[in-house]
A and B are shown apart, each in its own frame.
Chain A
């Protein structure tokens, strides 16, 4: 903590004070947890039977199916959003005014609307019988707009000289975008793009509202269909499903952090690490040390 803006390196008095706060803080946090657990168990939410339901093979198959359904919607939505993002950013940076306006209006409209509203409208209006496609399309439209803005920021961050040099070499505009600007933009923005994919993954849970049987909808179904001693196992189901979501999102975030680290290491294409360490060793240590984002 020596490099903290707020706190100087603690002296003897501050060390004592910090210890006291540590003890008090731990006690308060523990007390909160204990109160929660006691209250829940006194209502019977933590009984063994509530957790036994996850031993039934039927429920396990349900959860596995739901994970697959979630990942399916996520894959479709993510792929669609990336494609749409590229299309929209090309439109937004177009030389033709109508195209530019159209792309800008599309991005501004769908980016500032709640995703749920869009998904619901698509589902009710056009794809009532295909809730997976409605969900995937909604995810693609909303996140595509966000990805387009991310890519635009990336393209704007490419030094002007790159573009000028490419034009000076006689490249056409499409070539400049496809071979010079886009690769650098994607590379600079990869961590942000993946963070947005984490958002996409979390947003698949909106499928629950349009009756798509993804993880959250299945959780609710399990909880309301398997009463144990006349009580519904909402608490245990939410804990289990929450853990699954957390694991999936953290894996994706870890990927983003790992890529960010790699990107930082060789931003200029020149090894910036200490000269004594050969690049292979550095790569290996990075691969091991990828910690999830936000930690």
Chain B
């Protein structure tokens, strides 16, 4: 109990840090994931190849290695002196984008071809077909995997703590360095993460029930 009340402000900062990095890397991952999914389903071979390579490489590399890349390689290519928070969000966002891309691609894949053919024969343009026929159906299939991907992202954000970003794992480490018992620390950190992951799955359940239709 003591460990929380003695260091509550640090815990609060860690909790907010975890939230922040989750939100920012979710945004990065969603934007990149949608773009790469667009590449992967496009009729342009080089873009398809690029998308495939992106997904294969990022999905089969440990996230910890990507954090090393973000810490030591990215500042060499872009601007030196980027903040660890930004670099960590990039690593996390890039890693997760490959999973989001695959979820979206399989979501698009579940829409029957006949739907698009019917839309085209009605004279709908490409963007109309996408907006009014394909995406509404694909979105519903994508929501469930998306929720588990974002929960996984939340959990993966713990690794950022080992790369000097203020978040909950960093708090756990600092507290155990101060000599507090690991079990109470673990319980508080666990509660912190459970709040976030339950909130995410709750939000997604709400969205899912709103979008539910009889098929």
Q: Which chain A residues have a beta carbon within 8 Å of chain B's beta carbons?
A: 1, 3-8, 10, 14, 18, 21-22, 25-26, 29, 35-36, 39-40, 43, 45, 109, 112-117, 120-121, 124-125, 198, 202-206, 208-209, 216, 219-220, 223, 234-235, 238, 241-242, 245-246, 249-250, 253, 292, 294-295
Return A241 CB to nearest CB of chain B, in Å.
7
User: Which residue from chain B places its CB closest to the CB of A108 in the assembled complex?
Assistant: B194
Interface of B is mostly: helix
Interface residues on B, range: 35 or more
Alpha-carbon distance between A81 and B112 when the two chains are bound, in angstroms: 38
Q: Which chain B residues have a beta carbon within 8 Å of chain A's beta carbons?
A: 41-47, 50, 52, 55-57, 59-65, 68-69, 72-73, 76-78, 102, 108-109, 111-113, 115-116, 120, 126, 129-130, 134, 151, 154-159, 161-162, 168-169, 172-173, 176, 181-183, 185-186, 189-190, 193-194, 197-198
Assess whether B182 is in contact with A40, with CB atoms less than 8 Å apart. no
Assess whether A121 is in contact with B172, with CB atoms less than 8 Å apart. yes
Which of A26, A43, A292 has a CB less than 8 Å from the CB of B56? A292
User: Which residue from chain A places its CB closest to the CB of B18 in the assembled complex?
Assistant: A114
Return A80 CB to nearest CB of chain B, in Å.
19
User: Which residue from chain B places its CB closest to the CB of A27 in the assembled complex?
Assistant: B46
Assess whether B68 is in contact with A238, with CB atoms less than 8 Å apart. yes
Which residues of the other chain, A, contact B44 by a CB distance below 8 angstroms? 18, 21-22, 25
Q: Given contacts A5-B134, A112-B197, A117-B193, are A26 and B43 in contact (CB under 8 A)?
A: no
Which of B65, B102, B190 has a CB less than 8 Å from the CB of A245? B65
Alpha-carbon distance between A3 and B116 when the two chains are bound, in angstroms: 10
Which residues of the other chain, B, contact A245 by a CB distance below 8 angstroms? 60-62, 65
Which residues of the other chain, A, contact B47 by a CB distance below 8 angstroms? 21-22, 25
Alpha-carbon distance between A241 and B126 when the two chains are bound, in angstroms: 44
Assess whether A39 is in contact with B120, with CB atoms less than 8 Å apart. no
Which residues of the other chain, A, contact B155 by a CB distance below 8 angstroms? 112-115
Alpha-carbon distance between A22 and B50 when the two chains are bound, in angstroms: 11
